[in-house]
Structure 1
């Protein structure tokens, strides 16, 4: 019995949210008119509250306006409050470079979400039925969907693009033929939307051209597709539970950036790698739509682990490979500095026996007297200490190379210093009468010696150097 099926779903959700007001999405067509009539009758014998919402998409001129007026009049006759709105789907589609179908869907759900916000404790209820479900699953198959798509529509989910607003589909187990019989039984005369017969729209083509052919091969094709959806739902639920338990804790969010350790990601099964990418992008950009190809490309980039490589997603979001982590972020975001100090100026003269500001809140202290946390630098005659940023062609002589030179760039790469912080790293150098050379580089874990003392140099003094941060 259709009313009982609807009531079961609505009462189940009402137990979670006792004060809920159900926002009924009604177009005036057969499916939604049946839903409206059923809910109105249920409201006569229960405490369930309803609010009707109808949208004229601006696609059919006066016919669309007449449909909306019909819904308003019917709702008022049934004693139900109603909200009506007119959208400009063609204009929105052109402005945002969307198909008419997608633009209509987005504006429809935006409208329904706005009505929910208007009524307060609301949840959207739509009239999607078993035949709609079969068509949706077939569309997902045609697009090469994964398990999530094969699940089809869920009885209880969320309004697309509006996290936190519940969407109920209580008629998913009811066929269109059953709804037609209900309308005949109760002498309901639905509106006819002529665009539903236009097979230039993909869903209409599936409904009017493909599904009839499939029914020739299998008269129970709708039920078969529903069984596929049920199996996919069970499998998807299991995999999602595993993901939430074992993988999701590794996705660390800081502001609008999510980081995943490369050492963890590369050990995961490909199914979990793909889910991790979907999860990270979905958390940052809920409205993004990742294609299968982009997901596979991102997995490949991540597993190769080439530092600095980027995998682009939609709307400017991306995955960037760091030395130890994958970073999911927007391309406009400033890259994180971590604990790296960055020079405020290209060259700074170091004050001996004093403090030299390096960057905001950070000072370099020097003393000719030994200091317990300082490191010693021998200052030859005619030379002075400076702080500077790196320059093209810089070379260093780190310990262990027995006096051989090494390009500073290569040394920084070996130390896994991120590329975006290298240009302003503080380098301590000797400058003056003898050829300038870099003495040390400041990294997050301290200073690194990068020069050997020449035997012919006469030491003028020894200077102890240490950092202090202002609180």
Structure 2
């Protein structure tokens, strides 16, 4: 066993000489085998060892006895020991979590604090090959995301260094045999025998059946885990390149958008990963209610021929398809998109859609473009106002026979649905729509009056 672990450490380059190594020790057979093993290699590697044990306050005096057992063993073998406590029941109740999840969160918080306190290079944990098999099977049963099938990583960044797991090449039986061979009588947690926990059910009921068919299933699964991890790293790098090229992220508005045709031109494996990159960017923490169903709906939306379709994701995230683009953005329950403001002349006005409206007086004809409008004062009823559309709004312009609904103009101009309710209209006191800003102007009679007029209102929009 010792040689197998040494080979595993060398193959994955898990250690460095002179390192400070923290070891998570509960007093059970796995962690005691780990602690003993590292005590035998500390001189060879010139390691500073610190054993960390956390009492989760779930088993009263029994868990305290576990810590005292570890402390006595460390004292005998001249290893520094830190005994910590975590109030799991209180944390579990405060955050509405399961016992195992609450314990894991607090345990890792303590690990991080100790890593920082010691400026440690490694946190070593005693996960073994059977744990790996259980983890990957549980991931297979619970979801469809292949990234989750990678299982327990051999190493990963953590706090001031890395978490490493040099026993993933071994089995639970190897741990027990090692403890017996070195006269270690480990502590036993009775909860590990209960099949009420999903992991214990797999351990007691499923793994033994697999081992009947393949006694080296832990090696097979570990190799699979490493292969999946390698593939994932490559695909993730390619997905990040694709996202950087195609996706426009807006940090201020917490939104993301991309051209659908360009997105679909890439392999589906990258599309799926970019989808998850977008979610990781938008959400501070991925909601538990977000599942493979949302991913399936995303791809249905991506490939549908329908326009102006939207999906509702958890925490008020909307995914909207509009005129060849896909937009991710959050909508608040209390968000009000409608506005109506009287325009000061001269003056400036910041609009909810991010545009800035500036208004000034002019005594001569000034050139205008799509983002500006010159209006003879005598042709309008003051004051002017800027507002969002109302039901039934219509306007007309030179050359149009009759009038047209604002809704239909938006459709003709392919304005995204998400922008229509905040799109500004310039109206006079009589309610006449003078300018659907940036799109259509009511220039009737204005061109003839420009020659005779001596006073104008010049309206301009910026940040378009």
Calculate the TM-score normalised by the size of structure 1: 0.81
Name which of 278, 281, 302 aligns with 2:279. 281
Which runs of 5 or more residues in structure 1 are unaligned?
none
1:437 aligns with 2:432: yes
Alpha-carbon distance in structure 2 between the residues aligned to 1:20 and 1:301: 51
- Return the offset for 1:219: 3.6
Classify the secondary structure of the residue corresponding to 2:187: coil
CA–CA separation in structure 2 for the residues paired with 1:261 and 1:356? 36
Counterpart-to-counterpart distance in 2, 1:40 and 1:61: 29
Per the alignment, residue 407 of structure 1 pairs with: 405
Does the residue aligned with 2:170 lie in a helix, a strand or coil?
A: coil
Name the CA distance, whole Å, in 2 between partners of 1:405 and 1:158: 64
**By how many angstroms is 1:258 displaced?**
5.0
Residue number in structure 1 paired with 2:49: 50
The correspondence of residues 68-467 of structure 1 with structure 2, limited to 5 A, is 68-158=67-157, 166-255=162-251, 257-263=254-260, 264-285=262-283, 287-288=285-286, 290-304=290-304, 307=308, 309-313=310-314, 316=315, 318-321=317-320, 323=322, 325-328=325-328, 346-348=341-343, 351=345, 355-359=346-350, 362-373=357-368, 375-380=373-378, 383-384=381-382, 386-390=384-388, 391-399=390-398, 402-417=400-415, 422=420, 425-431=423-429, 436-443=431-438, 448-450=440-442, 452-453=444-445, 461=453, 463=456, 465-467=458-460
SS at the partner of 1:66?
helix
What is the CA distance between 1:396 and its match in structure 2? 0.9
Query: Given that residues 24 and 126 in structure 2 are in contact (C-alpha distance below 8 angstroms), is that contact kept between their aligned partners in structure 1?
Result: yes
Alpha-carbon distance between aligned partners in 1 of 2:105 and 2:87, rounded to the nearest angstrom: 12
Residue 173 (structure 1) shift = 0.8
Equivalent runs, 1:16-31 vs 2, <5 Å? 20-31=19-30
Please say if residues 138 and 199 of structure 2, whose CA atoms lie closer than 8 Å, have aligned partners that are also in contact: yes
Does the alignment pair 1:5 with 2:1? no
Please say if residues 365 and 465 of structure 1, whose CA atoms lie closer than 8 Å, have aligned partners that are also in contact: yes
Greater alpha carbon shift after TM alignment, 201-210 vs 416-425: 416-425
Alignment partners' CA distance in 1, 2:201 and 2:84? 28
For 1:382 and 1:326, how far apart are their aligned partners in 2? Answer: 40
Change (3 A) 1:154 1:419: same
Question: Could you tell me whether the CA contact under 8 Å between 2:249 and 2:257 is conserved in 1?
Answer: no
Distance in 2 between the 1:458 and 1:231 partners? Answer: 74
Give the secondary structure class of the aligned counterpart of 1:74: helix
How many Å separate the matches in 1 of 2:79 and 2:398? 83
Deviations 1:195-233 (A, max 9, x none): 111111111111111112233344443344334434433
CA distance in 1, matches of 2:263, 2:450: 54
What is the number of residues matched between the two proteins? 446
Contact 2:359 2:457 in 1 (8 A): no
Report if aligned partners of 2:426, 2:433 keep a CA contact under 8 Å in 1: yes
- Encode CA deviations 1:265-290: one digit per residue, 9 max, x unaligned: 34333322221122222344475254
Cα deviation digits, residues 325-362 of structure 1 (max 9, x gap): 54555555999x9xxxx97x52235x3xxx23333875
| CA distance in 2: counterparts of 1:151 and 1:427, whole angstroms | 54
Q: CA RMSD in A?
A: 3.7
* CA distances 1:416-455 after superposition (whole Å, capped 9, x unpaired): 54556555554333435xxx41111334xxx741453399
Q: After TM superposition, give the deviation of residue 415 of structure 1 in Å.
A: 3.5
Partner residue of 2:31? Answer: 32
TM-score, length-scaled by structure 2: 0.82
* Greater Cα shift, 175-184 or 219-228: 219-228
Higher mean Cα deviation, 97-106 or 2-11?
Answer: 2-11
8 Å Cα contact 1:317-1:328 kept in structure 2: no
Q: Secondary structure at the match of 2:382?
A: strand
In 2, the alpha carbon distance for the partners of 1:167 and 1:333 equals: 42
CA shift, 1:393, in A, is 2.7
Contact 1:128 1:169 in 2 (8 A): yes
- Check the 8 A contact 2:377/2:457 in 1, yes or no: no
